[in-house]
Structure 1
Amino acid sequence: MFATFLVAILFSGKVALASESSQSLSPFSPGERLTYKLSWGPFGVGSAVSEVKEFRNVDDECAYKFAFFVKTNPFGDLFYKVRNRYTSLAGLGLKRALVYTRRENEHKKSRNVDIVFNWHTQSVQYIREGVRRDPVPLPESALDPLSSIFAARLLELKKGANYSMNVTDGKYVEKVKIEVGKERRHRNKAGDFNVQIVTLDFGMIATAFGKKKRAFAEVWVSNDQYRVPVRMQGRAMWGTFRAELVAVKRDALPQITFAQAGHPKMGCPEVTD
């Protein structure tokens, strides 16, 4: 439950992109690794890692591959042990997700979930342990909870702006609503940042709040060329959770443009993992 809530905080998004130009610099590239400290109230309970992997070929479409890992520490294990891995494949325009997987080990339960997008039929299907639910219709564009945060990083954040984006967990499609708030300075282990405070309304998409209550969270996004989520926090029925950025690693590669990302010379191998 905790990890599901965290992913919901980290991975929701917005639609108004900073620029549609193919020459715009992407704020992220393969090799990026962001590490977060997870806290429950005043207690440190674990860590999370966000990674941008190498490009992948999915049905002759070049795609981003994103990965996210959640692990509780020994203290967190005493209450609710979590060892979760999430992956997403999404088209380079970050308007349509292609595949989203959840490999979750929480407390004494495990879940293997695959969410498969079929844009020929404009539908998404939720598959758990090989059992398929009926496909759910999709709008013209939709992302999964993981790829949507990367789409959000393409935005120019302006105080007072409001955005929305279609996000699905395979069971429901929600128009996530976003409101951009004030700017402030924030310092942590990863550095000193100018951040824009963004409030997210997830609607009824699956979170630790359950499906009968609306879920809200707050994300502090760095106001620079990388637009990194520096802090994420939200409230659930058992307390306040927070994810704080503690380390940033990027391969020694130049920032790529969207045009370069889709260029054959960038390399787009078949999916092997």
Structure 2
Amino acid sequence: MMKQLVSAVFCMVFFAAPQALAMPFHAGEKLSYEIYWTVVHAGSATLEVLPEKDVAGKPALGFLAEARSTPFVDAFYKVRDRIESWTDPDVERSYLYLKRQREGDYSKDVELRFEPDARRTLRYVRGELRRTLEQPEYVFDPLAILFAFRKQTLYKTMRFSGPVTDGKVSVSGEAYVEGMDTLDTPLGEVPCFRVRLDVKHLSGVFRKSDDAELLVWFSADERRLPVRVKSKVVVGHFTMELVGYDPGRETCAAQVP
């Protein structure tokens, strides 16, 4: 269950065309979350923006997502997952995606290399090339798409669609801005846009749930912080709540809630 939640949170498959907007995040930004299954505190997660470095000879901006189960959950299903993503500095396409899964007795290491000039991706599992896929010139990995979305100006009734890939399949994800809510969070009251994600391309427990749904609330300011994630699946309700925020090197016009 933790596996499906982590996958859903970091595989938000939607994309809008890039706009000439100020970046809402900077190197050093860190978001901290607590994860709940119904009322059980199941784990914690972090999202970070990494300093720029060269990837395959090109300047790149990095993102890091990590998730771990609580000591209580460790006793029967220990989770230690890490996802690293590298894009161009303007976050308009992915260059490299690294996933390290440690979930119970299951372990897997994936490297996804993007070759925009050749319009393809190369997926390696445990160091072996497993799949080559043709891709459009602009395509994102499951983590980078979240930060690409944060560049967009949100408003009620907006719809989004676009290409995202994990190297096994490429899909056109869709999302819809349903409305606005003010959330009571550990950081105070935060006005947010409520975004509903299309789950038809998500695997695992989402595919097994006839009435599955996935909602994400983004702060209604220049940062578009993912404040809350909530899913409904056959095995219950999962929630991921923002509990800590460090803006990093620079800050947007808006202040910390």
TM-score normalised per structure 1? 0.85
CA, structure 1 residues 202+136, in 2 after alignment: closer, same or farther (shift >3 Å)? farther
Contact 1:8 1:145 (8 Å CA) reproduced:
no
TM-score normalised per structure 2? 0.90
CA, structure 1 residues 4+75, in 2 after alignment: closer, same or farther (shift >3 Å)? same
CA, structure 1 residues 245+254, in 2 after alignment: closer, same or farther (shift >3 Å)? closer
Q: How does 1:30-45 map to 2 (within 5 A)?
A: 30-45=27-42
Task: Pick the structure with more strand per residue.
Answer: 2
Instruction: Work out the percentage of aligned pairs sharing the same amino acid.
Output: 29
Q: Deviations over 1:11-31 (max 9, x none)?
A: 4254335x732xx32110001
Partner of 1:236 in structure 2? 233
Query: Once the 2 structures are TM-superposed, how far is the Cα of residue 240 of structure 1 from its aligned partner?
Result: 1.5
CA, structure 1 residues 115+80, in 2 after alignment: closer, same or farther (shift >3 Å)? same
Aligned: 1:146 with 2:143: yes
Aligned: 1:63 with 2:60: yes
Secondary structure of 1:84's aligned partner:
strand
Q: How does 1:45-60 map to 2 (within 5 A)?
A: 45-60=42-57
Which amino acid letter does the alignment assign opposite residue 161 of structure 1?
M
Partner of 1:16 in structure 2? 16
Secondary structure of 1:79's aligned partner:
coil
Contact 1:209 1:236 (8 Å CA) reproduced:
yes
Query: Once the 2 structures are TM-superposed, how far is the Cα of residue 89 of structure 1 from its aligned partner?
Result: 0.3
Cα distance in 2 for partners of 1:215, 1:125 equals 31
Query: Once the 2 structures are TM-superposed, how far is the Cα of residue 215 of structure 1 from its aligned partner?
Result: 6.5
Contact 1:174 1:202 (8 Å CA) reproduced:
no
CA, structure 1 residues 58+252, in 2 after alignment: closer, same or farther (shift >3 Å)? closer
Which amino acid letter does the alignment assign opposite residue 119 of structure 2?
Q
CA, structure 1 residues 13+225, in 2 after alignment: closer, same or farther (shift >3 Å)? farther
Which amino acid letter does the alignment assign opposite residue 219 of structure 1?
V
Cα distance in 2 for partners of 1:91, 1:211 equals 36
Please, which moves more after superposition, 87-96 or 175-184?
A: 87-96
CA, structure 1 residues 214+146, in 2 after alignment: closer, same or farther (shift >3 Å)? farther
Partner of 2:69 in structure 1? 72
CA, structure 1 residues 151+214, in 2 after alignment: closer, same or farther (shift >3 Å)? farther
Which amino acid letter does the alignment assign opposite residue 28 of structure 1?
F
Return the match for 1:191 from 174, 188, 191. 188
Which amino acid letter does the alignment assign opposite residue 242 of structure 1?
T
Secondary structure of 2:76's aligned partner:
helix
Query: Once the 2 structures are TM-superposed, how far is the Cα of residue 138 of structure 1 from its aligned partner?
Result: 0.6
Cα distance in 1 for partners of 2:55, 2:234 equals 39
Secondary structure of 2:75's aligned partner:
helix
Contact 2:182 2:192 (8 Å CA) reproduced:
yes
Contact 2:14 2:164 (8 Å CA) reproduced:
no
Query: Once the 2 structures are TM-superposed, how far is the Cα of residue 93 of structure 1 from its aligned partner?
Result: 2.8
Q: How does 1:63-142 map to 2 (within 5 A)?
A: 63-142=60-139
Secondary structure of 1:159's aligned partner:
coil
CA, structure 1 residues 126+7, in 2 after alignment: closer, same or farther (shift >3 Å)? same
Please, which moves more after superposition, 58-67 or 200-209?
A: 200-209
Contact 1:122 1:139 (8 Å CA) reproduced:
yes
Contact 1:14 1:151 (8 Å CA) reproduced:
no
Contact 1:197 1:218 (8 Å CA) reproduced:
yes
Secondary structure of 1:80's aligned partner:
coil
Cα distance in 2 for partners of 1:82, 1:221 equals 26
Cα distance in 2 for partners of 1:71, 1:132 equals 28
Which amino acid letter does the alignment assign opposite residue 20 of structure 1?
Q
Please tell me the root mean square deviation across aligned C-alpha atoms, in Å.
2.2
Cα distance in 1 for partners of 2:205, 2:212 equals 8
Secondary structure of 1:133's aligned partner:
strand
